Amino acid sequence: MPRETGRTLHSRADLGKAHSISESTLQNLWTDRENNGHPPVTETIDGVMHWDSAVWTAWYHEHQRKRAAAATTNRPKLDGDPEDLVGPAEAARVCGFADTATVSHYVNQPPEGWPDPDGWDELPTRRRPKWKRWRLWQYVADRKGRGHAGGRPKGRRGLAYPYQGDERLTLARKVLAENPGAKNAVLVPILQERSEQTCSRTVWNLILKSARENPKE
């Protein structure tokens, strides 16, 4: 990391180490520079591009802030089989992210509650993570700042299974028994109408999953 006229110059490798960012993510940021405002190269040294560290860091923090503000502008996609394994593109849709960039960032720097991948696709040049839908639903239900109503009751740790003893689980079991074979798209509106508690579709999907896996107390 050479210094020039009081400035610290960072190569892409230096930036990766300083900010815990993968080489592929840094390359993608540079490739998309016309759209994201990535700073221009300050100097090329021995054929390697370098950037002013302070300028790049200030840009990156602002880029992260803007992306976080725009990340959840879409409605979460809360249908489908809860056990499906989905890749980054579908994970972004499930969570309501604007694009897959947020998912890629979360893989490397996960926020609170972000699930570890349940599997990986081994591609010729990289590994692609995959998650079960229900784990993404759980993240959507629990993440901070989204205002989803009716999540898991606080102080309920140590349960044998999710929502054990919750009256909503009892109702879900009853509705499942009354509608054998029905999908969540049919069941959730019934539950929302019959329950005295206001819950998001995300939460009802998780309660239905627990009811199917645990049909009896």
Close Cβ partners of 64 (under 8 Å, ≥ 6 residues apart): none
Of 177 and 35, the one with more pLDDT: 177
Which residue is associated with the tokens 């221009």?
40
Task: Determine the average pLDDT of the residues in 123-150.
Answer: 76
- CA angle (67, 68, 69) in 5-degree steps: 90
Which pLDDT band holds residue 173 (cuts at 50, 70, 90)?
very high
Which pLDDT band holds residue 55 (cuts at 50, 70, 90)?
very high
Torsion of CA 162, 165, 169, 173, to 10 degrees: 110
How many other CB atoms are there within 10 angstroms of residue 8's CB atom?
17
* Per-residue model confidence (pLDDT) at position 6: 66
Q: Give the CATH class of 3-70.
A: mainly alpha
Are 82 and 134 in contact by the 8 Å Cβ rule? The answer is yes
Of 149 and 205, the one with more pLDDT: 205
pTM, full prediction = 0.46
| Rounded Cα gap, residues 117 and 104, in angstroms | 12
Residue 48 has pLDDT above 90, yes or no: yes
C-alpha distances (whole Å) from 21 to each of 17, 43, 96, 98 are 7, 21, 23, 20
Task: Determine the average pLDDT of the residues in 171-196.
Answer: 91
Task: Determine the average pLDDT of the residues in 95-110.
Answer: 84
The pair of structure tokens assigned to 162 is: 């999710």
| Rounded Cα gap, residues 3 and 10, in angstroms | 9
* Per-residue model confidence (pLDDT) at position 40: 95
Which pLDDT band holds residue 119 (cuts at 50, 70, 90)?
very high
Domain borders along the chain are 3-70, 85-142, 167-213
